[in-house]
Structure 1
Amino acid sequence: MKIEVGIADTIIDLKPLDHVMEAANFVRAGQWDYERVTYDYKIGSKEKNITYYIRVQGYALEGDVDRGDAVIKLLTPLIGKHYYPHGIEYGEKETFPKSVIERANTMLTKVKDEVDKYKK
């Protein structure tokens, strides 16, 4: 499920983006290659074997993620549902509790406010 908060198409240098996302408790970890980055925020659930994720992705317009000099263009954030042990589903047919959607909107709005301070 896509979450529209005005982040999509934002252009920002990788280093401040990493800083903003880390401060908001999003994890990039090994989820990157030379041209793309992915940040995830994990939301626990009372449902058995279900975990939700907020995902923010972007790709390099110039530079290299590995060298840390990339200029990133962000995509529309997503909410996904992890089904143990099968993986995460981001499809439009997935259903999400209202509380998860509200939390995603709140968190992503805060991220957008911080990203806006650094956007190109």
Structure 2
Amino acid sequence: MIIENSGLNGVQSELNYLDDAAEKVGFVRWQWEYYRATYDLKLVDRASGSEYFLRINTRAIEGKLESPHAVLNIEAVYIGRATFPHGLEYESPVPQHIMDTATQRLQQLKQQLV
């Protein structure tokens, strides 16, 4: 599910600063290559045991991710349920308490970046 109202789409930050801000909120830069990176936050529904990942997609608009001074643009924010062996399914409904936590973490990150 794409999260349209995160307030993060279009926000720009240097890689080093974004890494630090994301880590403070609990995100990990998980996948990356020279020009794009994703930041993931794992959320677990204790009732069902399901795992959800809040994911932020970014793309370098200045430099490459080899440099801590590369400037990244946040392109999209979405959440999905983890599937075996390793993937995300974006069509499943997300429990409200998981969405509430996701929204809270996105707001914390936004405060760090804006």
TM over 0.5: yes
Q: CA RMSD in A?
A: 1.4
- Whole-Å Cα distance in 1 between the matches of residues 86 and 22 of structure 2? 27
- Whole-Å Cα distance in 2 between the matches of residues 51 and 109 of structure 1? 21
Partner of 2:102, secondary structure, is helix
Q: What is the CA deviation profile of residues 6-54 of structure 1, one whole-angstrom value per residue up to 9, with x for unaligned ones?
A: 100111111111110011110114x110000111000112324x21011
Cross-structure match for 1:16: 17
Q: What is the CA deviation profile of residues 46-71 of structure 1, one whole-angstrom value per residue up to 9, with x for unaligned ones?
A: 324x2101111100001010222211
Amino acid of the residue matched to residue 87 of structure 2?
A: G
Structure 1 unaligned residues grouped into runs of 5+: none
1:39-118 matches, within 5 Å, as: 39-46=39-46, 47-48=48-49, 50-85=50-85, 87-90=87-90, 93-116=91-114
Shift of 1:114: 0.7
CA separation of 1:86/1:69 partners in 2, compared to 1, >3 Å: closer, same or farther?
closer
Q: Between the two proteins, what is the percent identity of the paired residues? A: 32
The structure where strand makes up a greater share of residues is: 2
- Whole-Å Cα distance in 1 between the matches of residues 67 and 28 of structure 2? 18
TM-score, normalising length: structure 2: 0.90
Structure 2 unaligned residues grouped into runs of 5+: none
Runs of 4 or more above 2 Å deviation: none
TM-score, normalising length: structure 1: 0.86
The number of aligned residues is 112
